Structure 1
Amino acid sequence: MADSGCKIGEDDEVPGRVKENLCQPCLSKDKETVADKFCSTCNEFQCNDCSNVHNMLAILKNHKLVSVNEANVASISFKMKALDLCDQHQHSFEFFCEDEKKLCCSKCAIVNHRKCHSVVEIEKIAGNIISPISTLGEKLKEAKEAAESVARHIRSSKDQLAEDIKEIHVKIRRMRDEVMEMFADLEDSVNKRAETLKKETLENLTKKQTQNKKDLADVTSCLETIESIFKNGTPVQKYIAEQKMGSNVKEECQSLETVNISFQFDETIKLPPLPVTEYVPGQLKLNFHHQGDVNFANMMMKLTPVSSIDLKKTGDDIDEPFYTGIDFLHDGRLVAVDSKNEKCLVYNEKLVKVGSYRLSYKPLSVVVVSEEEVAITRGDGYNIEFLHVSKCNEVTSRRSLKVKTKYYSICLKDDRQFVVGTYDEPRPVRIVSLTGEEHDFKVNFPNKTYSIDTSDCTYIKSSDKVVITDRDEHTVYIYDIKKGTRVVVKDDKIQEPCGAAVGPSDTILLCCRKTNTIVQISQSGQVLSSYKIDMKMPYKVCVSRDKSFLVVTNNYIGNGKMQKFKIST
């Protein structure tokens, strides 16, 4: 039905209130007149004067006119036909089960909810719980976004399924080629070894053959002498001749060997008889993962205060300290950068300052690259600076990396690349190598330009996900780089999210400046925990490499703090 021309106020949806339908032809003339009729053919509400035109023109006499009340009832009836019936029993909904949060018809209430404690009539509670149109609209928008997310996920799953099957074929062919190559190498190796054995054996047989020929010649030449000895010799001569002649030949006969060579497969690689389909050397698996299967209770962390310090202006400071970047060194020390006073500082495990280095630029963020090297983004140029932090807490400048984009936050992607958050740039996140090559992720980030200090990013290496905070929109975005999808996280607990870090179980930790809390969320966007801390406007957070300690700083003028917590689950 077309726009009814109703005069809608903020309370128009309250049950029992009569809607004031206005004449639509009059509205087109900037005149507000209460409608008396509804023409279903014209599909509009009309006053008596405008509806009288139907009686004046022959072409309009067949139009169907009804009263406004009849039109409203018909409209309501039409709109509710798909919503007010129970799918199971096709009866109108009359009750609401507050225990199970379900609408019930009379049969549902009796059959399925008789053991529930609170089943109430809808008529009695409808006026108190009906949401305003704006709220319902927001819910529908969220439902639409969820449906679109499901559609994207299904498309991604179908594409991934095709890729997985393709990869199986590739893997089997690769395995076949590797097996064939292995057998080719085996054949070559065995042939070489067999030839070596053959050569060695033939040499020994040739030597024996030569000796045998000599023995045969000696025996033949001595036969005549033996015959003479046996005819004419003494018994002693006969005995010696008998023992001497034939002893060598007899020994050679006793040492004769039969030579053969063969090859036997090791039992671990012996193949079974064909057909191979009955002995498949592998398994085809189809795995499903539901986010609902995740036990969030095991991921929730607890924070126990360990130490706390006030960040005060010292003798060589120009202004009160403002730490815009912090990170843990490999050995548990902490490195921080002070944007206001242009310093890099080192703290020990007890948050005692043990090192300081004056910079020639305004630092923005810091990340530990290796055991004794850190990288710093700067606010006055297109550079990433590298500093050396020794075991003795001495800080020195190492090198400067020229880049083409303004970078604010920075974290490690792997041992060769950074993930960096931008400012004054339409691409919110980029990748920079340790040698200065810059490129983009293969995912469509929103074309939004953040000003400095309004967004932070971090990277979850185990799942290849990028996390972006939007301080002004009170929103956190979690991008799955492999799947090309994202999760949008909005929650009452997330207010002005600033710094972000990867916490225990690869959950995400957020500094929420407006609520003075550290909020923990899962990678699926579930809010797991929220911790009120003794600090106003928390700003940056970092987690130790073993995920056992957390440090947070703030940006509250006149009451700067840095606190350390023990993490437990």
Structure 2
Amino acid sequence: MAEKGCIYKEKYEVPGKGKQIICQPCLSKDKQTIAEKFCSTCDEFQCLECSNVHNTHAFLRSHVLVNANEAKTKQSSFDMKGLDQCYQHQEVLKFFCEDENLLCCSTCAIVDHRKCQSVVEIQKVVERKTYRGSTLKNKLQEMRQKANIIVDSIVSSKAKLDEDITEMPIKIKRMRDEVIKMFDELEISVVKHVEMFQNETLKKLTMKQSQTKKYLADIATCLETIDNVYQNGSLVQQFIVEQKMKNDVNVLHTNVGAECHDLETVTVTFDFDETLKLPPLPITDYVPGQLSVKFCLSETAKVIAPVNKAMRTTLVNSIDLKQKRSKEKEPLYAGIDFLPDGRLVAVDNKNEKCLVYNERLKKVGSYQLSYPPQSVVAVSEDEVAITSGGALKLDILRVNKSNDITLDRTIKVTTKYYSICHKDDKYFVGETNNHSSPVRIISSTGKEKDFNINFPSKSYSVTTNAYTYIRNSDKVVLTDRSEHTVCIYDVKTNTRVVVKDDQIKDPCGVAVGPYDTILVCSNETDCIVQISQTGQILSSYKIDMIFPKKICVSRDRSFLAITNAGEGEMKLQKFKISH
């Protein structure tokens, strides 16, 4: 028992008797009463009057009382330094409320926790639990290990940074020397080949020139003979010469014509590839290389870092959303989302309804709205938020376990929103309508603000853009249907990654998939494309659905649902996700 449990007062000693033990509760009231009992649970010496409290309150009756003179005192081996004191009443903490998971003193137990079902002595809680060591100690040791890893990693990172920066000019000089050597070797090789070509070409041209000069001599002889006979000869002689020289002239004509036809001009040029051509700019404006500055996970951190894995999908169920009743229009599901328990909520834009489907995609609930809904997102276990696009509000509907849907409350806003998704427990991210920023942050009370992102200055439209938010990495994903791109904006660094690939055509719906990867509906290719946050295409899946438009993923990332906008061929499909 603790030291405070044994109170001696020498001035109350009776001659011939041992030291008297004083009642602790009385002593706290400035009364000196001889203790008759000791409660091991309360860890107090008490007089008869104070110990009778154990018979008054039911939760004290299990305490074990012994005579004070039978109790042995011992020195406390640890100074609690006030940790065992109630902050409110400055009394010793003796009880534990299991309902509220709180430590209590006697006053707390009687006054503040009298309605609780389970207020137990701390001693009993300790006795019925088997401790294999302090959980807090284990957690602190684990945190200390991780903190040491962080410090070691930072030291290593600094050293690596210094090494990389020191190596950079050396690498550039080495590359310069290698480039100069390459050009020296190139010059020798080109000159050698050019000289060989020149010798061969000159030989051919010389032969052609000699042959042509012989033809010129033969032509001159023939012309001289013809001129003489036409000047001095008779008609008979002229006729004979014409006939005799006709064959020779025809041969000369053919040979000279052939040589003239094969006449060519020989030139030699040497051009660099386009990649080696430098524009007329200073070298500081054109760097023949790429400087990369990046942050990457250390080998230690990679063990616990998310891995970009290609997912696999298996079709679980598929239903046709055809018009079944003449009074209803063909449905168009403008938004879908999973409730935490696996049910699926959808909003029908054409028929102005909110619908609930069970795990087998059987319709189990319906609620008539007064406006065409634009999107839906699960807010909690039994709440969903719906946007209208044209009104300055967000409606919160309650969906109970019996699939009854009621309007719970309305959040007033100052901006028109087409679709929303969760940012965290207190905020939404909303896709705007006719606003300077494509997305904004909305609190649960309706307060709005912009992201700290420099979005490109362009016209954003809900017909050409879709978005989602990655909570764990604080990133906004925005698609551009006209550009066939997916842009991943990092809010912390105000940077972006632009993804453009032949597998992504007319990207519509987008959602956060397993391992925080990005799932995009490729409208023109009827595919679902999986992208990493760094822009890598991880997988692509052809689905039995034309014009997939909306996609959502369950909270545990084990299922996804897709719906489309194919007139006359509307479908809702559910897939199982595996890795």
The TM-score, its normalising length taken from structure 2, stands at: 0.51
Q: Which amino acid counterpart does residue 454 of structure 1 have in structure 2? A: T
1:343 aligns with 2:353: yes
In the alignment, which residue of structure 1 is the partner of 2:396?
386
In the alignment, which residue of structure 1 is the partner of 2:153?
286
Shift of 1:526: 0.7
In the alignment, which residue of structure 2 is the partner of 1:35?
none
- 1:424 and 1:452 in contact (8 A); partners too: no
Q: How does 1:259-270 map to 2 (within 5 A)?
A: none
Q: How does 1:82-231 map to 2 (within 5 A)?
A: 200-201=7-8, 203=9, 205-208=10-13
Q: Which amino acid counterpart does residue 153 of structure 2 have in structure 1? A: L
Residues 467 and 262 of structure 1: CA distance in aligned 2, closer, same or farther (over 3 Å): same
Residues 296 and 532 of structure 1: CA distance in aligned 2, closer, same or farther (over 3 Å): farther
**What's the CA shift string for 1:454-487, capped at 9, x where partnerless?**
2222111111111111122211111222222221
User: What SS class does the counterpart of residue 12 from structure 2 fall into?
Assistant: helix
In the alignment, which residue of structure 1 is the partner of 2:517?
507
Residues 341 and 301 of structure 1: CA distance in aligned 2, closer, same or farther (over 3 Å): same
- 1:539 and 1:554 in contact (8 A); partners too: yes
1:281 and 1:341 map into 2 onto residues whose CA distance is: 55
Shift of 1:443: 2.6
| Equivalent of residue 371 in structure 1, options 368, 381, 388 | 381
- 1:291 and 1:524 in contact (8 A); partners too: no
| Equivalent of residue 523 in structure 1, options 524, 533, 551 | 533
User: What SS class does the counterpart of residue 322 from structure 2 fall into?
Assistant: coil
Identity level (%): 54
In the alignment, which residue of structure 2 is the partner of 1:532?
542
Residues 493 and 398 of structure 1: CA distance in aligned 2, closer, same or farther (over 3 Å): same
1:332 aligns with 2:338: no
**What's the CA shift string for 1:340-394, capped at 9, x where partnerless?**
1111111111111111111101100100001111001102311111111121111
**Aligned residue pair count:** 320
- 1:325 and 1:540 in contact (8 A); partners too: yes
Larger radius of gyration: 2
2:340 and 2:74 map into 1 onto residues whose CA distance is: 63
Residues 263 and 339 of structure 1: CA distance in aligned 2, closer, same or farther (over 3 Å): same
The TM-score, its normalising length taken from structure 1, stands at: 0.52
2:318 and 2:433 map into 1 onto residues whose CA distance is: 31
Shift of 1:335: 0.4
1:319 aligns with 2:329: yes
- 2:308 and 2:517 in contact (8 A); partners too: no
Shift of 1:310: 1.0
1:563 and 1:367 map into 2 onto residues whose CA distance is: 18
User: What SS class does the counterpart of residue 405 from structure 1 fall into?
Assistant: coil
Residues 321 and 197 of structure 1: CA distance in aligned 2, closer, same or farther (over 3 Å): closer
- 2:311 and 2:578 in contact (8 A); partners too: yes
Gaps of 5+ in 1: 1-192, 214-254, 270-278
**What's the CA shift string for 1:166-199, capped at 9, x where partnerless?**
xxxxxxxxxxxxxxxxxxxxxxxxxxx98x689x
Shift of 1:260: 11
User: What SS class does the counterpart of residue 568 from structure 2 fall into?
Assistant: coil
- 1:326 and 1:334 in contact (8 A); partners too: yes
In the alignment, which residue of structure 1 is the partner of 2:315?
305
1:296 and 1:209 map into 2 onto residues whose CA distance is: 75
Residues 357 and 263 of structure 1: CA distance in aligned 2, closer, same or farther (over 3 Å): closer
Shift of 1:282: 6.3
2:146 and 2:552 map into 1 onto residues whose CA distance is: 47
Shift of 1:206: 2.5
Q: Which amino acid counterpart does residue 290 of structure 1 have in structure 2? A: C
1:434 aligns with 2:239: no
Shift of 1:262: 8.8
**What's the CA shift string for 1:60-80, capped at 9, x where partnerless?**
xxxxxxxxxxxxxxxxxxxxx
Q: How does 1:401-480 map to 2 (within 5 A)?
A: 401-480=411-490
Residues 539 and 451 of structure 1: CA distance in aligned 2, closer, same or farther (over 3 Å): same
Gaps of 5+ in 2: 19-68, 81-132, 135-143, 158-294
- 1:296 and 1:528 in contact (8 A); partners too: no
User: What SS class does the counterpart of residue 286 from structure 1 fall into?
Assistant: helix
1:411 and 1:319 map into 2 onto residues whose CA distance is: 27
